[in-house]
Amino acid sequence: MRLLSWNIHKGIGGRDRRYSLDRIITCIEAENPDLICLQEVDRHVRRSQHHDQPRLLARYFRCHSVFQPTVAVADGGYGNLVLSRWPVVSRHRITLRQGGRKPRGAQLLVIDSPEGPLHLVNTHLGLAERERRWQVTRLLGHMLFRSADPHPTLIVGDFNDWRNALADDTLAAGGFAQVTTPTSRFRTFPAWLPMGALDKAFVRGRIGVRHARVIRTSLAKTASDHLPLVIDFHLR
């Protein structure tokens, strides 16, 4: 099974600032993923031509689609999106907003994969280290997250964690192992000259990771300000 995680920056290139959802689609299609976890997906916003990106992406890839709007922009907004080749058994979304900071959220889905149920979490964490610790603690302790404890769990997304501080304490304490390590191999931001390993993946339970990599094609380097992360795995 293959998963792709990517902060698509609303489809706006990191260097040329040009909006093109087609570039995003081409990069994703080249990897042929079964599960697509995206962050910063626009819906009805002027900068992205008022496109309903969740609908357009779901229609193009012919996938089950679950969208979580997190930040309001005029009459639209942006948020997290999961596209799945397989049926979604359950879906929840929780807020990870702390105080007056920018709204953040996480999607909690149980996917009916060919190898059994998979608990998939797609998230985009905050910019401050203390905020991120609070967000992960809230996520792991949330009743909706705990309700899927019997299933193998895969957490992916843009963690904004430059120092990789969450891996060895908060997430490790929750029984999660980091897939995207060593971090020197998983630098994803900024896309044109990656210095930070901000896009991460963690697993718990009977998940075997065959291979994890960052896509570094010339198109990926221009399509967004992050590079995509691809994980090949199976349920043991």
Domain boundaries, the chain: 2-235
> What mean pLDDT value characterizes the chain?
97
Specify the CATH number for 2-235; select among 3.40.630.30, 1.20.1250.20, 3.40.50.880, 3.60.10.10: 3.60.10.10
* Spatial distance between the Cα atoms of 120 and 205, rounded to a whole number of angstroms: 12
Beta bridge partners of 12: 19
Cβ count within 10 A of residue 65: 17
User: pLDDT band at 236, cuts 50/70/90?
Assistant: confident
CB contact burial 159-172 (16+ within 10 A = b; e otherwise): bbbeebebbeebbe
Helical segments of the chain, H only: 21-31, 53-61, 129-141, 143-146, 170-173, 218-223
pLDDT tens digits, 165-213? 999 999 999 999 999 999 999 999 999 999 999 999 999 999 999 999 9
The rounded radius of gyration (Å) of the Cα atoms in the chain is 16
Q: Are 147 and 163 in contact (CB under 8 A)?
A: no
pLDDT tens digits, 51-71? 999 999 999 999 999 999 999
| 39, 44, 50, 54: CA torsion to nearest 10 | 50
- Alpha carbon of residue 138 to chain centroid: 18
Q: Are 37 and 201 in contact (CB under 8 A)?
A: no
